[in-house]
Structure 1
Amino acid sequence: MRRTNTSTPSPALTFRLAAGSSDAARLQPLVQSAYRGDSSRRGWTSEADLLDGERITTAGILEKMTAPGSAVLMAFLPPADTDTNEDGDLLACCEIVRLPPPARRAYFGMFAVDPERQAGGYGRQVLTAAETFARREWGAEVMEMSVIWTRKELISWYERRGYRVTGERREFPYEDLEPGVGKVGDLHFEVLEKGLVGGKGEVGV
């Protein structure tokens, strides 16, 4: 269920790159809660009606963190005590991948926001931070992503952020799923992209 946003501005998130197994262990339940199981139904990015089981393992997240040309970004609510060295509450994350040259492109994935706090403007902050990182670190000129075609609300959200549906479709990896995980048999991905050159509203990472 999608929540109605209030007029109170969302606090600015803080960001850092994930590093090490302890961060991977923190991220796994966040990603799981945003996509699979009953907890995900409280947000609007749920895949619970399409897929069951584990979205990704802790080892899988660690692999994304350590692969060449790949980064996992963590987003936190500011801690109540500004003098502390703690990160604050983990709220969201995403994966950014540098795609092979000669294309100056990056890929945005594993986008997860705590379902209890979705529709509060936090997703926009995470997406902007990812775009900023890709431009600054890799000189990316285009960001692309792939979204399950049935998730129309999510695709529309990306379109409002400047992304366009390219018309390219990619096969869904049913062969990689554990038995009984897939609930729907006609899934595929729609590819979306956005030009990053000249973008505004950068967020530091």
Structure 2
Amino acid sequence: MSPIKLQFRLATPADINTLLPLIRSAFGGKQSRNGWTTEADLVANDRIDESGLLAKIVTPNGVVLLGTDPSGTLVACCELLKLDGGLGYFGLFAVDPRHQNGGLGKQFLLFAESYARETLGLTRMEMSVIWMQTELIAWYTRRGYTRTGEKRPFPYEHFVNAKAGAMRDDLYFEVLEKDLLAGTTITAAA
């Protein structure tokens, strides 16, 4: 089976009702178990609400990118946030669990890095990953990200519609970073 060729565009506030189910299905709940990036055994949380997602979409120093299949169905998204000194933040990366492990995540990440470099003028990208997600950290490492050694606290106090909250009290984020000037350019309409 050949991989799906994604189409990319920027999210608008009109996309919120389509984005929320994608994000929530990738990170938690029963559907997330169809993929390999689930946080369902670590956190019972909706990850983000409408107002939080709207804030990310309309922020002047960032964008939310969408990836759709040829029929226009949303299958992936991420947030890019421009920080200081050429540094950007990559987060809220979600790929529909039914399409994980088929190359869509890699395709989307390459486009997001290219967009960050060429459109936002970023030279480095950082992200934070829950320390226990060793398979996910290894996936990013294979794509050129390195562990910085920095640890950031887990936002226990900011749960969104938490059903049970965190299932562990020892969670924190590991920070990974990549030099985007050594990246690959992907051309596509955004």
Q: Is the 8 A contact 1:24 1:58 kept in 2?
A: yes
Determine the structure 1 residue equivalent to 2:98. 116
> Take 2:108 and 2:90, find their aligned partners in 1: how far apart are those partners?
11
| Aligned pair partner of 1:182 in 133, 145, 166 | 166
Q: Quick one: structure 1 residues 203 and 159, their matched pair in 2 at CA, closer, same or farther if it must change by over 3 Å? A: farther
Alignment RMSD (CA, Å): 1.3
1:179-198 deviation digits (Å, cap 9, x = unpaired): 73111100000000110114
User: Distance between the aligned counterparts of 1:203 and 1:29, measured in 2?
Assistant: 28
8 Å Cα contact 1:170-1:189 kept in structure 2: yes
2:139 maps to a residue whose letter is: W
Q: Is the CA contact 2:45–2:163 (under 8 Å) kept in the aligned structure 1?
A: no
Amino acid at match of 1:200: T
Q: 1:68 aligns with which of 60, 67, 90?
A: 60
Q: Is the 8 A contact 1:24 1:59 kept in 2?
A: no
Structure 1 segments (4+ residues) deviating >3 Å: none
Query: In the alignment, residue 192 of structure 1 is paired with which amino acid?
Result: L
Unmatched runs of 5 consecutive residues or more in structure 1: 1-7, 80-87
Preserved CA contact (<8 Å) 2:87 2:122? yes
Q: 1:43 to 1:135 in 2, by over 3 A?
A: same
Q: Which residue of 2 aligns with 1:4?
A: none
Normalization by structure 1: what TM-score? 0.87
User: Where do 5+ consecutive residues of structure 2 fail to align?
Assistant: none
Q: Distance in 1 between matches of 2:19 and 2:187?
A: 21
Contact 1:145-1:191 within 8 A present in 2 as well: yes
Count of aligned residue pairs for this structure pair: 187
Q: Which has the larger radius of gyration?
A: 1
